[in-house]
Structure 1
């Protein structure tokens, strides 16, 4: 049986959450310094996370949300503690936050499987489906060095049931593979597709309550046995 494999990008193929965590550490340290050490690092990160998640409702996954969330975090503490800071502090913080979009995010260690699948076009086609702004996601896709193995790359501003309904009509036997229950797995299943959840270091936003029975794997390498048996080992 031939499958049309659809791979999520962030955290599924590349270590996006780890890259963001490093940038969050840098930004939190800067806020701590700007505030003169009057607020502990963990409190800074907690407020930032609340603000960032709330801003998704307004700004979605645009690249302006993340630096704006950091500026809002600093402004929150400035107002709360009546602290005076330099006029350039917010600009410096936003510039530091924007660096995340210039980084070359490392591959996950199990992405060698992509090349293996590419050598078996008779049993698998492959697509990347990724959420975010075109310039940011295009850079991340190209940085993987894997783009030549994929039949199509789709960059979308919304990963909801509608895009999965379109893919389910377009492809013969689609299988969505991703780490996000909210964006990858639940809407794909709701659209009538097969979906496989890969357990990764993920963002809290990716979690969602559901009532589906979901196939889960710890590594992309497990896809070989789960979907193809020994076919792609030959």
Structure 2
């Protein structure tokens, strides 16, 4: 799709599953959680109830591992009719701590792309989740040096983006957002008049799905983050 990037001066990057692996660890933890509760319900039922609990708690806890841990504990209590052993609760907490302490795994080409863009554009991170956890991951990643600004948002809706761009004095005509979620990184950006690039990750959280992806138009979809270099007319060698 032909999209003009000539006026772009600022590029925003989503973090989880755009810069580094994230959703994979949630799915693996869900598998372990289902194994812990297999004596109470089927795996499918456990998965469904955990997701429902996450959605019910989202407004209270926000996004991130800590809210996910609390939702797992609450789901375990509900699914077991409050009979789940304390040992199982302890194991659930350990699952969450393991996620938090997991090494950061950069996605293919991330540092290469950032290195080529840093002197040509103002680069910022726009992510959502737990502030402490996202700051920790950025520090562990070794790529914080490439960014002029890092913002951890409570959500990624039109008003969140508009308020931030205004605060940072960024013109929407000069802003490009790159991320893996159509719902969070593409649609709201297009709705405020900025440009967006979608780089899908192989696993997507159900909450980040859109009902009809074919209706999301006027954005660029890439197979790899490295592909953005040619569209920005930057030498890849």
| Length-normalised TM-score, structure 2 | 0.83
Deviations 1:102-149 (A, max 9, x none): 22231111213122222xx23x22111111121111011112111111
Deviations 1:130-183 (A, max 9, x none): 111211110111121111111211122222212321344422411001111222
- Compare 103-112 and 174-183 and name the one that shifted more: 103-112
Q: CA–CA distance in 2 between the matches of 1:126 and 1:159?
A: 18
Question: For the aligned residues, what is the CA RMSD?
Answer: 2.2
Output aligned runs, 1:56-205, within 5 Å. Answer: 56-61=58-63, 63-79=65-81, 84-111=83-110, 112-118=112-118, 121-122=119-120, 124-169=121-166, 170-172=169-171, 173-200=174-201, 201-205=203-207
Other structure's SS at 2:196 match: strand
Match in the other structure for 2:223: 218
Q: Residue 208 of structure 1: CA displacement?
A: 2.4
Other structure's SS at 2:123 match: strand
> Structure 2: which 5+ residue stretches go unaligned?
1-5
> Structure 1: which 5+ residue stretches go unaligned?
none
Match in the other structure for 1:10: 16
1:161–1:188 contact (8 Å) kept in structure 2: yes
1:67–1:97 contact (8 Å) kept in structure 2: yes
Match in the other structure for 1:42: 44
Output aligned runs, 1:11-30, within 5 Å. Answer: 11-30=17-36
Runs of 4+ in 1 over 6 A off after TM superposition: none
1:168–1:192 contact (8 Å) kept in structure 2: no
1:117–1:232 contact (8 Å) kept in structure 2: no
Deviations 1:195-227 (A, max 9, x none): 11111122111122474413211111111122x
Other structure's SS at 1:177 match: strand
